[in-house]
Amino acid sequence: MTELDLLYSEVEEDLRSAVRAVLADRCPPQAVLARCEGPEPYDTGLWRVLAEEVGVAGLPVPEALGGAGASLRESAVVLEELGRACAPTAFLGSAVLATTVLLAADASAELTALAAGERTATLVVALPTAPEAPFPLGVRATGTGELTGTVAWVADTPAVGLLIVPADGPAGPGLYAVEAAEATLTPRGSLDLTRPLADVCLTGAPGRLLIGPDRAEAVLRQALLTGAALLCSEQLGLAEWCLATTVAYLRERRQFGRVVGSFQALKHRLADLWLDIAGARAAARAAADALASGASDAAILVAVAASHCSDTAVRAAEEAVQLHGGIGMTWEHPVHLYLKRAKADQLALGTPGRHRAALAALVDLPAPGAVATPRVPHV
């Protein structure tokens, strides 16, 4: 087992403050709510500020290509803040999922444009796809790179410039770059108002092979694993907001002649939630650090963090709604944005149950009747 650094470095805390300041300024909950109902779900102005002033769009991109040359630990900290603000940005799809593939493909021109915030990209898979899922074969590629097929429930499509499409070609699976203008994007109604979803339809769209059959499956799995790992940090930030907001409310709200937060039944529920969040923080940091350092047990730590953080975020949001009483049920109060994001995040990139099933194989705890898998050595 690797020695993990589970704390935040000074650089990471500085990055956090910078992101938080921008979000506080441009993305208060009421603004998020208003935007979700408008025609432009993503705040492209916010994205430009985050990309140009804070440099978040190209965190793991090498400095030579205009990125920050940072590690996934820093991206995780950004996601904590985006989760805390329930911010409508394309960070997960563009700066995490698509960027992981583009880095593996050494796609310099695309990475440069992404890091500069000039374009965004997304990975064309159904958002619920788990890292260990089989390579999706819904899109067919011809030998000359024309792509045909439909992928439903794709995230981060509004205002997207570049699509990274897994497709099955004559030589086997590949990952292709397609200009979004060549595809038909049909928005879906989405449970999570702040992360719109769409169906991507390709009919003979010209694609450029980024990763060939030799590595396509492994690179896609790595991208999904990275996404699942970093989503934990978004869930952590989201859960922390729910707890802090609820505590603040219960310290003010009075019933029965006393502050509601002085009732022990509520105090104990919040203490338990705090405990789960403390666990989520440790697990999310571990997953990010393990991926950043290329630890051999990274997949185990991601499965553990993904199942724990997903459930913790949902619980935090559900408790927040309940403990706000009637106010919590209103459209005006932003807590529903967090509930919707938390529930959608629980399905994204593998449900907790799927991650635990993956874990069962990784640590050799087979289900009844399953054939025993070779034990992964714990180093």
Partner 1 sequence: MTTAEELRTRTADLLAAHDPAATEPLEFLRARFDAGLAWVHFPPGLGGLGAPRALQAVVDAELAAAGAPDNDPRRIGIGLGMAAPTVLRFGTEEQKQRFLRPLWTGEEVWCQLFSEPGAGSDLAALATRAVHEAGDAEGGGDGPGGHWTVDGQKVWTSSAHLARWAILLARTDPDVPKHQGISYFVCDMTDPGVDVRPLRQLTGEAEFNEVFLTGVRIPDAHRLGAVGEGWKIAQTTLNNERVAIGGHRTPREGGLIGLLADVWREQPGARTHELHQRLLQGWTDAEVLRLTAERLRQQLAVGQPGPEGAAAKLAFARLAQQLTGLEVELLAEEGLGYGDWTMSRPELVDFTGRDAGYRYLRAKGNSIEGGSSEILRNIIAERVLGLPAESRSDKDVPWKESAR
* Residues at the interface with partner 1 (CB under 8 A): 1, 4-7, 243, 247, 250-251, 258-259, 261-262, 264, 266-268, 270-272, 274-275, 278-283, 285-286, 297, 300-301, 303-305, 307-308, 356-357, 359-360, 363-369, 372, 378
Shortest distance in whole angstroms from residue 307 CB to partner 1: 5
Helix, strand, coil fractions of the chain, as percent rounded to 5: 55, 15, 30
Nearer to partner 1, 188 or 251 (CB): 251
Nearer to partner 1, 8 or 42 (CB): 8
Contacts of 25 (CB under 8 A, 6+ apart): none
Shortest distance in whole angstroms from residue 71 CB to partner 1: 18
Nearer to partner 1, 152 or 260 (CB): 260
Cα gap 165→208, rounded to integer Å: 10
Asked whether 153 and 126 are in contact (CB, 8 A), the reply is yes
Nearer to partner 1, 144 or 264 (CB): 264
Nearer to partner 1, 326 or 378 (CB): 378
Cα gap 351→35, rounded to integer Å: 28
For residue 335, give Cα distances in angstroms to 243, 260, 265, 318, 326.
11, 19, 22, 9, 12
Nearer to partner 1, 72 or 205 (CB): 72
Shortest distance in whole angstroms from residue 16 CB to partner 1: 17
- The tokens for 45 are 């102005």
Nearer to partner 1, 86 or 300 (CB): 300
Contacts of 315 (CB under 8 A, 6+ apart): 239, 273, 276
At how many degrees (to 10) do helices 298-323 and 352-362 cross? 150
312 phi/psi in degrees, rounded to 5 = -65, -40
Shortest distance in whole angstroms from residue 308 CB to partner 1: 5
Shortest distance in whole angstroms from residue 333 CB to partner 1: 20
Tell me how crowded residue 36 is: count the other CB atoms within 10 A of its CB.
Answer: 20
**Which among 231, 243, 256, 261 has a CA at the least distance from the CA of 349?**
231
Shortest distance in whole angstroms from residue 262 CB to partner 1: 4
Task: Check residue 294 and give left, alpha or beta (phi > 0: left; psi -120 to 50: alpha).
Answer: left
Nearer to partner 1, 43 or 289 (CB): 289
Shortest distance in whole angstroms from residue 176 CB to partner 1: 36
Cα gap 315→319, rounded to integer Å: 6
Cα gap 204→142, rounded to integer Å: 9
Shortest distance in whole angstroms from residue 11 CB to partner 1: 17
